[in-house]
Structure 1
Amino acid sequence: MSSVLNFLSSITLSTALHLLGIILLALLVNRFLKILTKLIIKPATSQARAAQAREQQTRTLAGVLYSAISKVVWVVALITALDLFGINPIPALTLAGLASVAVGFGAQNLVRDLITGFYIVLEDQYAVGDTIQFGEATGRVEHLTLRRTVIRDARGALVTIANGDIRTVANLSRDWSQTFVDVALAPEIALDQPLAALEAASAELRADPAWSQAIVDGPRILGVQALA
């Protein structure tokens, strides 16, 4: 306790002001970085699906860049602050380098996650807002970083996936996708009336302005598929 008090008492007004300046400068740089990365975002100029997807992609890229560079800014600020208190940062950096080598084998999964996440963003495999399928997990991407992907599945659960575990992923939102809906009927019901009702519902859906831009083709009635 006394050593802490001695350390605090040794801090001069000039040192405190310099430390405050370092913190304020780091905050200002991060603020400027936030504004700069927002310039990457291309707001959708229409309700077209391609324009909406492009906005989501650029938002994801801006978020990843800000997160990565912001961490670098704070590391530089910390090193500068150590030097301000007379602590040579070189031995600390050397020790950190040796420690990183020592734990490198244990951090292989982390490095793999970061590299895979970088290529996911760079190659635009998917972005926040897309619906993806990975293994048995299917859901809407709610958060994407270099290390992990977070999706919300049909149950409403948040599923966290390490990017390094993603080998094959299906993007169900890109360009177009389709689904099949089976309608079960009792055997004694005549088919003419249900088929006519389904055709009418399909035509109504195609004519609905809220859905017409999102529908590429169909819906189509394929007819009887199986008898039970």
Structure 2
Amino acid sequence: MDQQVTATLWEWMKGPGLRVLFTVVSAALIITALRTLTRFLIRYMEVRGNGLHQMEAQKRAKTLGSIINSTLTVIVAFVALMMILQEFNIKIMPILAGAGIAGLAIGFGAQTLVKDVINGFFILLENQYYVGDIIKVKDVAGAVEGINLRRTVLRDMEGAVHFIPNGQITQVANLTRDWSGLIVEVGVDYKEDIDEVSEVLNQIGQELAQDGEYKDVVLEPPTVVGVIDFSESQVTLRMMGKVVPSKQWGTAQELRRRIKKKFDQAGIEIPFPHRVVISPKKRE
């Protein structure tokens, strides 16, 4: 009896047992290789971050690396398990059918959550925005205070906090990526010479860019790009330049202050509404 069991076991080890061992070793090697590739991906993502965003890039890389590792490990382990069960003459079709039905039920019930997570994964993977960036999602604009796989947290200019599911972020505008545009519109009276006014404005832009406080902020000095409008009382000129991210608002305020001061010195008139009040004469 013992000899018969030993012989049967030996026959199984030479056939199915060897295939089971091969499956286990192959799965382990595949998981190891995938983890190595994931580590290279994490390092690549960390290198892409720089300056103030370095820690944020590292944090995102670790988060994504953990997700990728876990997902791929589960997939490889499940496939290996199905192959091993076949070697024990266990029918796997009912198991796969049951797993498929359960997956459909879970996916249908958590459809919104799955959409949020998938979209959040690609937001993190593509580095669409960082914590501290100012972005605009549909009609909501504000500073990013938090990002995870499920939602993005924005704080608008009024201090209100918006929790936006990542699945709803189909289009996003990053207002502070790489550089920010500096745009200032200046209205002058019709009697002023446009060429002279443009020369004064360009000089103000150059002086701002060379100022010690703003030379590291202004990437391209603001210059006049042309006349953009003729209104009832003024001619409107537009100045455009480039500044470091999120510095456009403060720099624009300083530029307007300098324009007003320079115009006063040069006698250039900035038009303003006039109102004439006529009082009826009193009857004696």
Q: Give the TM-score normalised by the residue count of structure 1.
A: 0.54
Q: CA deviation at 1:215?
A: 2.9
Partner of 1:206: 209
1:176 correspondence with 2:179: yes
What does residue range 75-154 of structure 1 map to in structure 2 within 5 Å?
102=105, 104-154=107-157
SS of the counterpart of 2:145? strand
Q: CA deviation at 1:187?
A: 3.6
**Larger RCO, structures 1/2 (Cα 8 Å, 6+ apart):** 1
Partner of 1:7: none
Q: Identify unmatched segments of 5+ residues in structure 1.
A: 1-39, 43-48, 69-97
Q: CA distance change for structure 1 residues 127 and 183 in 2, over 3 Å: closer, same or farther?
A: same
What does residue range 162-173 of structure 1 map to in structure 2 within 5 Å?
162-173=165-176
Whose Rg is larger? 2
Superposed CA offset, 1:115-161 (max 9, x none):
11111112212111122222222222111011001112233322221
Identity %: 38
Mapped to 2, the partners of 1:209 and 1:54 lie a distance apart of: 27
The count of corresponding residues between Structure 1 and Structure 2 is 157
Q: Give the letter for the 2:53 counterpart.
A: A
Mapped to 1, the partners of 2:52 and 2:196 lie a distance apart of: 39
- RMSD of aligned C-alpha atoms? 3.8
Q: CA distance change for structure 1 residues 50 and 209 in 2, over 3 Å: closer, same or farther?
A: farther
What does residue range 17-96 of structure 1 map to in structure 2 within 5 Å?
50-61=50-61, 64=63
Superposed CA offset, 1:79-98 (max 9, x none):
xxxxxxxxxxxxxxxxxxx9
Q: Identify unmatched segments of 5+ residues in structure 2.
A: 1-42, 68-100, 232-284
Q: Bigger shift: 140-149 or 183-192?
A: 183-192
Q: Give the TM-score normalised by the residue count of structure 2.
A: 0.45
Mapped to 2, the partners of 1:209 and 1:148 lie a distance apart of: 41
